[in-house]
């Protein structure tokens, strides 16, 4: 039997067009919430279009009409069965005050692993420089770090040195932000190598950090080192670690330790945390770039080292409080009504 | 048909029906990528005029705006585009491509951000080497960002609305004088044959004359082989008209 397609389409077309209009309205504003009547109408029209598609597929399957209906049913299916939780408008404050710190704590194991690799790299780099100072060019591929630390400190503490960043501080801040954000995103993206790339990346960054630190400490420039690195490093290094944490969460989803959940399901569950951590790292690096350019580059006597170190310590304390305590439910929450 | 050569992803709904996505080929995706790249550069060159003017009064600030602005715009353009335009950027829109959830569900903001963040690894070592190989190897043409985000890129060619005027149902149909023949034709002809005949009529003007004559002769012979047709229903009726009559009785019921 072949259905009378002309009459069939003429009869059903108003419903399809109405469904099309509702779906277009929703497409124009993804955060729009439908009223109960609209939800009922959407569901009814979708069910009807589904039934029409079933009839067309069974009987006279004219390809154009079928494609049109398939497209309509596909869009309707996405609306009706889609993830409602993400349809809400973005709430930056809620994300900052709750979502990011909660996600960080939920994925703390990945953070600890990233920290362990960074520290292992730092220990290796520090020991290498301590045992063989000639290895500096290999360990620190940055020309401005290869010289004698004491000589650099002397040059940067000269009164005339304070103005060396004049007229290019904002540019330098922009360069730092974009470069460091790309580094953090790379630490995340390397999670796709089942985490191996992320771990090597963190170890290598640790090697550089450890080598620089030991080089300055051995030269008796510990105060300069702390005053130079702490104000921005206390945010920048954790930010890179958060990027690596996201990469290790990605790797964890790929490896799937329990093995019961299929890969697609594991990725779907991990994706919001990965994105949250990546955006958090980016935000931290905007702050770190600003501080590094506008504050870290000034040394004593322009800004006393004690002030710089105190500023870094205050930032570190605030960051620790943020990630450990911010967004926690108050004691007794959730017990009401029990 | 080209659609049959295109890789399809079929999704069955709890309502008991299925719909299909046509997966975009890597070549089409490359085209969209090039268009997007050009769009970003073109848009930024216009912003560059304003930045140069800003540079006249604050050179350092203008440089910073240029560096940060280009980074944010080039990275954020796809994210905002795919989020606000339901999986499309300018390039994808031009080439009728769309990013969708691989299960046919609503594309979420998280998915859009993740698939774009992972461009960093897809781009390695140069010009989407990793992503390109992943898309070629993957069953659904997914680069690594798509695999992580659970997304696919589909091709949505513009489908014209069904045109019933091709049937010209108001004209005299010699087959309708023989209801038993009409009934037997409806019983014997399957949907695929009916569809092929309709498509031949709909596209007759696209065919060369010799090919058109040969096609309708083949179709007419096929339908005549399904059931005996009285001579008066075919006498003086050209093959194309006969096929038109067959399609008319197959698709349209007249009271």
3-state secondary structure of B154: strand
Tell me what pLDDT residue B42 has: 95
| The three-state (H, E, C) secondary structure of B12-35, written as one string | ECCCCCEEEEEECCHHHHHHHHHH
Instruction: Identify the bridge partners of residue B101 per DSSP, sorted by sequence position.
Output: B151
Whether pLDDT at B163 is above 80: no
Report d(CA A162, CA A302) in Å as an integer.
7
Residue B161 pLDDT level (bands cut at 50, 70, 90): low
Question: Across the interface, which of B83, B106, B150 has its CB nearest the CB of A264?
Answer: B150
Annotated domain spans of chain B? 2-155, 164-251
Q: Which residues of A touch B13 (CB under 8 A)?
A: 50, 73, 77, 81
Long-range CB pairs of A281-284 (<8 Å, 24+ gap) are A281/A181, A281/A184, A281/A185, A281/A188, A281/A239, A281/A240, A281/A242, A281/A243, A281/A246, A282/A181, A282/A184, A282/A185, A282/A239, A283/A96, A284/A235, A284/A236, A284/A238, A284/A239, A284/A242
Contact A271 B110 (CB under 8 A): yes
Question: Across the interface, which of A77, A175, A185 has its CB nearest the CB of B13?
Answer: A77
Residues B37-56 pLDDT 10s: 999 999 999 999 999 999 99
Nearest residue on chain B to A191, judged by CA atoms?
A: B121
Annotated domain spans of chain A? 5-87, 92-325
Residues B88-127 pLDDT 10s: 899 999 999 999 999 888 888 899 999 999 988 888 888 7
Q: Tell me what ipTM this predicted complex has.
A: 0.83
Interface test with A, best of B1, B55, B68 (most A CBs within 10 A): B68
3-state secondary structure of B99: strand
Residues A184-227 pLDDT 10s: 999 999 998 999 999 999 999 999 999 999 999 999 999 999 99
Residues B196-251 pLDDT 10s: 888 888 888 888 889 999 999 999 999 988 888 888 888 888 888 888 888 888 77
């Amino acid at each position: 039997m072949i259905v009378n397609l002309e009459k069939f389409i003429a009869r059903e077309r108003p419903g399809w067009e109405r469904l099309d209009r509702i779906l277009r309205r929703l497409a124009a504003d993804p955060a729009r919430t439908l009223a109960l009547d609209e939800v009922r109408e959407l569901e009814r029209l979708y069910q009807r279009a589904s039934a029409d598609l079933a009839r067309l597929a069974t009987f006279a399957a004219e390809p154009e009409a079928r494609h049109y209906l398939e497209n309509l049913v596909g869009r309707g299916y996405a609306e009706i069965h889609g993830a409602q939780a993400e349809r809400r408008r973005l709430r930056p404050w809620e994300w900052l005050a709750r979502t990011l710190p909660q996600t960080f704590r939920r994925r703390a194991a990945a953070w600890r692993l990233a920290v362990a690799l960074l520290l292992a790299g730092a220990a290796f780099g520090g020991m290498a420089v301590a045992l063989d100072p000639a290895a500096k060019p290999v360990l620190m591929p940055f020309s401005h770090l290869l010289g004698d630390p004491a000589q650099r400190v002397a040059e940067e503490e000269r009164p005339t040195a304070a103005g060396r960043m004049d007229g290019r501080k904002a540019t330098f801040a922009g360069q730092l932000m974009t470069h460091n954000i790309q580094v953090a995103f790379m630490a995340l993206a390397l999670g796709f190598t089942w985490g191996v790339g992320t771990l090597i990346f963190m170890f290598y960054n640790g090697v550089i950090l450890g080598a620089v630190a030991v080089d300055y400490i051995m030269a008796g420039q510990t105060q300069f080192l702390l005053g130079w690195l702490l104000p921005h490093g206390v945010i920048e290094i954790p930010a890179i670690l958060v990027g690596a944490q996201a990469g290790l969460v990605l790797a964890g989803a790929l490896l799937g330790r329990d093995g019961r959940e299929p890969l697609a399901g594991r990725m779907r569950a991990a994706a919001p945390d990965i994105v949250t951590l990546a955006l958090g790292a980016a935000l931290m690096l905007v702050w770190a770039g600003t501080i590094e350019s506008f504050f870290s580059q000034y040394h004593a006597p322009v800004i006393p080292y004690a002030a710089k170190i105190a500023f870094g310590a205050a930032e570190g304390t605030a960051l620790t409080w943020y990630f450990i305590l911010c967004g926690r439910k108050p004691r007794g929450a959730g017990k009401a009504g029990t | 048909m080209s659609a049959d050569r295109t890789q399809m992803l079929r999704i069955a709904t709890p309502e008991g029906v299925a719909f299909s996505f046509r997966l975009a080929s890597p070549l089409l995706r490359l085209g969209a990528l090039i268009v997007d790249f050009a769009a970003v550069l073109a848009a930024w060159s216009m912003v560059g005029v304003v930045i140069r003017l800003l540079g006249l009064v604050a050179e350092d600030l203008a440089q910073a705006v240029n560096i940060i602005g280009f980074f944010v715009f080039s990275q954020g353009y796809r994210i905002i585009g795919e989020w606000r335009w339901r999986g499309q950027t300018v390039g994808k829109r031009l080439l009728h491509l769309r990013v969708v959830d691989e299960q046919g569900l609503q594309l979420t903001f998280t998915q859009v951000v993740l698939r774009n963040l992972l461009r960093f690894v897809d781009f390695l070592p140069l010009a989407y080497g990793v992503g390109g190989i992943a898309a070629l190897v993957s069953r659904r043409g997914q680069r690594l960002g798509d695999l992580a985000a659970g997304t696919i890129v589909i091709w949505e060619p513009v489908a014209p609305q069904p045109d019933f005027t091709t049937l010209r149902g108001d004209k005299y149909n010699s087959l309708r004088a023989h209801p038993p023949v009409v009934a037997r034709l409806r019983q014997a002809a399957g949907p695929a044959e009916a569809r092929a005949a309709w498509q031949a009529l709909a596209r007759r003007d696209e065919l060369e004359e010799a090919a058109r004559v040969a096609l309708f002769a083949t179709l007419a012979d096929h339908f005549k082989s399904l059931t005996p047709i009285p001579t008066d229903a075919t006498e003086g009726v050209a093959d194309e008209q006969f096929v038109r009559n067959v399609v008319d009785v197959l698709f349209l019921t007249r009271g």
